[in-house]
Structure 1
Amino acid sequence: MTTDTLATRDELLSRSARNLGDMLRRRVDQTPDATAFLYPENNAGGPEKWTPLTWREVQDRAHDIAAGLLDLGLGPEQRVAICADTSVWWILTDLGIGCAGGATTTVYGNSQPEDVEYILTSSESRIYVAQNSAQAAKVEHSPALDELVTHIILVDDDRLIQGAPGSDRRLVAEDTRVISLADLSARGHAARQADPGAVQRVIDATAPDHLATLIYTSGTTGKPKGVELTHQSWTYMGVAMESWDPLEPGDLQYLWLPLAHVFGKCLIAVQMTIGFSSAVDGRVERIVTGMGEVHPTFMCGVPRIFEKVRAKVITSRGLARTISSWAFRVGERTAPYRLEDRPLPARLSGQQLLAEKLVFSKLKQAMGGRLRMMICGGAKLSPQIQRWFFAAGIPVVEGYGATETSAIAFFNVPKKGRFGPRFGTAGPVCPGCEARIAEDGEVLVRGPIVARGYHELPEKT
């Protein structure tokens, strides 16, 4: 099936930025002082304080990091590995790598040292960005990485915190390859002062088909394979999602997904294109609390997160459980009317108002009170859970894709009309792309979102 013609694909390609640095520049040109990100800072043991960053500030910080990396000798398409938690610093570092013409190799924070060694060796990543000394220590004990990794950059510089002899902090503190992200940024800022056009010249020289990201698969069918995603993979994904039109510049995303995963990384490209804001906090245990603090309009997640929310509500006891069960039965009866945009019968309308007051409003308020929708990916979501949330007035829509398709190959766009939502489906194929089902049931996708190939594995591509 095909939802768009080749002309539409050409139109989207003509609207795409040349590369990630150009995409960021376009966003700054359009909304320089709009809030790009909010990030939490603990207030001396008190409640979290959410600090804003404007798009202009994001570009300045990304360019400082880019200039610092160039000063370290980073060349075109050379890899910089990031093994860090989801945070605004991950995003700024990744953008800095892209603006410097390099390519980000993503590494999950829970990766074992032998897995880190394999990914860095396979990708030939010469710079390693670590969250802290514990993550940096994963490359400290690897003879194979002694010569390959020339610099280790700490996001959280904990080297000066007292550590016992032989501890991670002590070992890292004695490693001459180690510098902090703050020092790298300061070094880059000084370089930009001396040569203001250095970073822009590299951005101008970076082509759409240059490598931007290297993401290693889970390895369920053998050793993990490095999926090569180009700058065009991300810039096209941005304009494709914009043409799908599910999000608006005034939206606020709550972003907790691992940025080492293609889904999380894709959301940054979409954000830069559309211009909405994101509150970024990778601490899974704070998702509901954080949503209550920043009041997002949408959140992306995986099935287990939505399953946990539902389980918490339906395990309530006594009168609260009785009222909740009644309210969700009412919500289920209203669903067909709402899906088809038909008015509710008078009696059902009154019941819906009461259910909203007694149950649904409290559920929505716990998640910030402004949610328009939630988006699920990563695995199949149970239609039962989808219907449960929809009964409460919170659409959860699904998409489908893979690392090899820059994340979102199909999306059940939450709009009325021919795009659904239809429970239990992943929606139409990405605009400008084509898809069909092979005879053996495999989903085949063709278009600009498809990866360049597997790193140094042409026979597997």
Structure 2
Amino acid sequence: MIKITRTFDIVDALYEKYQKEDALAVKRNGQWEKFSTEDYVRYRDLFSYGLLAMGFKKQDKIVTVSNNRPEWNFMDMGMSQVGVVHVPVYPTIGDDEYKHILAHSDARIVIVSSQEYYEKIKPLADTVPNIEQVYAIDEVEGAPNWNEIIEEGKKNEEKYKEEFARMKADIKPDELISIIYTSGTTGTPKGVMLCHRNFVSNVEACQNILPINEKHRFLSFLPLCHVFERMVNYYWQFMGASIYYAESFETIGENLREVNPHGFATVPRVVEKLFDKILLKGKELTGIKKSLFFWAVNLGLRYELNRANGWWYEFQLKLANKLIFSKWREALGGNIFIIVSGGAPLQPRLAKVFTAAGLPIQEGYGLTETSPVIAVNHAKYPLLKFGTVGPIVNNIEVKIADDGEILMRGPSLMLGYYKDPERTAEVIDNGGWFHTGDIGEIHEHNILKITDRKKEIFKLSTGKYVAPQMVENKFKESSFIEQLMVVGAGEKYTAAIISPSFEYLHGWCFKNKIKFRDNTDLIKKEKVLERYQKEIDRLNEGLGRHEQIKKFALTPDEWSTENGELSPTLKLKRKIVKEKYRAEFDSLYGYE
């Protein structure tokens, strides 16, 4: 029995316990291509041999810029078993960020997945002296291919057999395995140094929380370079499950119906969009079908755990499940029993309605620096509580500081920031406690509730404090609002800059016979502004007076990672949004 203390031990245990034809799979050229456990081990080891043949030494760095695919795992595990450090990078960041990471990480080579990324990265890599070569995984004309590393491995397998076995055996759990550059909603990205123990301890902590086994299949679509999807990717493998990589975000629905997976990891924005799509389908219905659909939705939104709504509610829910919710489950492949959400706060109403529909969402919480899971909701009450991130995992310590900040320490805490002892000392104190920057409370059953980001809470000139993330989450319940940023630091009242959900708004305008030239013209229309005011008034109810949005400004753009308003994990880049919409901000407070 293999004792798992290093990430690559997960693959060896997988090979020993679960021989399967679809350890990993990906859809390419319209076909699902499957890799067996044996293929996985073979490619991983050949990649290791190839690196040794190319002169790679322990602690050398390799940057990857890739979509989710089996090759990502072959490279990741192949690097880790010879002590080479993996630096996975988002494909969607800007040129300056790329140049910073390529230089700061001291990487020797870059491996990209496609021609698009090769054309983007190659010119930047050419300006960074430490980068020796840029390889592509797909066939790209004029580019060296990652298969050349595999071929080097095949040619030199005998030569390096003993050295490889020795190096692999000598790898310690506390050795650096990866540097993950935080997406950075402010300032230069920091390189978070993670070791084998960080990931493995976090995987082990979730073992009894996410109840899966080797018979299950999971769809993966969040970027593997993000710590959340990476840890979940390790976890599925640790439990012997198969992983199918979606073609893209656009094909998630189609891929779910093809693979019929048992679960997936997601971020709240994907859940929000999924719910909006379901509602749009419902609005297309007519007569009794439409009435039944929205009766079921409203029933779901009122769902409470532990049968707290009583027998009559549960009876109606059974009916709603048979008539309506069964179709939701079918649309997601028919087998889903586990959805893990992280990366940002999930609206409690969405957790309720999906759980009512037999699609339970287990929300968790963590940071890149904590590898990442600090807390996660379990599958069943009382260790599942809506509006919280669930019980703290059992192999770490968490306490709340006097100012409400969540502090954590334990085996999943990072080694520090790469080449940045000053910033490391700012977040890890002398007692070994990591300061998360999040405000929270610990409830019964050790359940953690996040109330806001410490740095984002602002004070109005009246002396009242506003937690913007909480208010934003409430307002994103509206189908009319895609994104918004709550503002008001040092001002008399709270206001918001809103990026409308143009797809929904265009449909509403068509129905209400409102003509417009473009989005810039649309957001000035009196009827549109009146409709948004009505929506703001509705959502303001239930908020404290100081938290209520008194004024708002609509923007003609949809905010995105590409345009710079959102980070790769879809978090708001507040500084950039404020600078971009300075005129709108000024008009909200009469500074024009």
The normalised TM-score by structure 1 is 0.85
Per-residue Cα deviation, 1:166-200 (whole angstroms, up to 9, x for no partner): xxxxxxx2xxxx52012221221222244444433
User: Quick one: distance in 1 between partners of 2:222 and 2:314?
Assistant: 37
Q: Is the 8 A contact 2:301 2:349 kept in 1?
A: no
Is residue 13 of structure 2 the alignment partner of residue 31 of structure 1? Answer: no
Displacement of 1:214 in angstroms is 0.4
The amino acid of 2:423's aligned partner reads: K
Contact 2:102 2:125 in 1 (8 A): no
Compared CA separation, residues 99 and 299, structure 1 to 2 (3 A): same
Unaligned runs of 5+ in 1: 1-14, 43-47, 160-172
Deviations 1:132-151 (A, max 9, x none): 33323444334874531112
The equivalent position to 2:306 in structure 1, one of 337, 340, 352, is 340
Compute the displacement of 1:332 (Å).
5.2
Query: 1:383-439 deviations in whole A, cap 9, x for unaligned?
Result: 0111111221211120000000001111111134x41x2101101112210001112
Of 274, 283, 294, which aligns to 1:325? 294
Q: Do the aligned residues in 2 keep the contact of 1:117 with 1:139 (CA within 8 Å)? A: no
Name the amino acid aligned to 1:321.
K
Bigger Rg, structure 1 or 2? 2
Q: Distance in 2 between matches of 1:349 and 1:410?
A: 29
Q: How does 1:35-434 map to 2 (within 5 A)?
A: 35-42=22-29, 48-142=30-124, 145-159=127-141, 173=142, 178-281=143-246, 283-315=248-280, 316-317=283-284, 318-319=286-287, 320-331=289-300, 335-336=303-304, 339-340=305-306, 345=311, 351-416=316-381, 418-419=382-383, 421-434=384-397
Q: Distance in 2 between the 1:400 and 1:394 partners? A: 19
Question: Once superposed, what is the RMSD of the aligned Cα atoms?
Answer: 2.3
- Paired letter, 1:125: A
Question: Which residue identity does 2:261 align to in structure 1?
Answer: P
Secondary structure of 2:206 counterpart: helix
The answer as to whether partners of 2:301 and 2:350 remain within 8 angstroms in 1 is no
User: Would the alpha carbon gap of residues 444 and 202 (structure 1) be closer, same or farther in structure 2, given more than 3 Å must change?
Assistant: same
Secondary structure at the residue paired with 2:278? helix
Range moving further from structure 2, 261-270 or 197-206: 197-206
Alpha-carbon distance between aligned partners in 2 of 1:353 and 1:399, rounded to the nearest angstrom: 28
Contact 1:106 1:215 (8 Å CA) reproduced:
yes
Q: Is the 8 A contact 1:21 1:95 kept in 2?
A: yes
Tell whether the 8 Å contact from 1:62 to 1:93 is kept in structure 2 after alignment: yes
The alignment covers a number of residue pairs equal to: 420
**Which protein has greater RCO, CA pairs closer than 8 Å, 6+ apart?**
1
Post-superposition shift, 1:73?
1.5
Q: What amino acid does structure 1 have at the position aligned with 2:14?
A: R
Give the SS at the match of 1:242. coil
Kindly indicate whether residue 435 of structure 2 is the aligned counterpart of residue 448 of structure 1.
no
- CA displacement at 1:361 relative to structure 2: 1.2
Any gaps of 5 or more consecutive residues in structure 2?
Answer: 425-592
Q: Per the alignment, do residues 143 and 411 of structure 1 end up closer, same or farther by CA in structure 2, a change over 3 Å counting? A: closer
Q: Contact (CA 8 Å) 1:32, 1:54: kept in 2 or not?
A: yes
User: What is the distance in 2 between the residues matched to 1:367 and 1:196?
Assistant: 46
Provide TM-score, normalisation by structure 2: 0.67
Q: Which is worse superposed, 193-202 or 109-118?
A: 193-202
Aligned amino acid, residue 449 of structure 1: S
Q: Does 1:22 align with 2:1?
A: no
* Counterpart secondary structure, 1:399: strand
| Cα shift readout 1:299-355 (whole Å, capped 9, x = no counterpart) | 11011111111111222233343221112334456x44xx3269974x656544432
Percent sequence identity is: 28
Residue identity in the other structure for 1:118: H
Q: Which amino acid aligns with 1:35?
A: D
SS of structure 2 residue aligned to 1:212 = strand
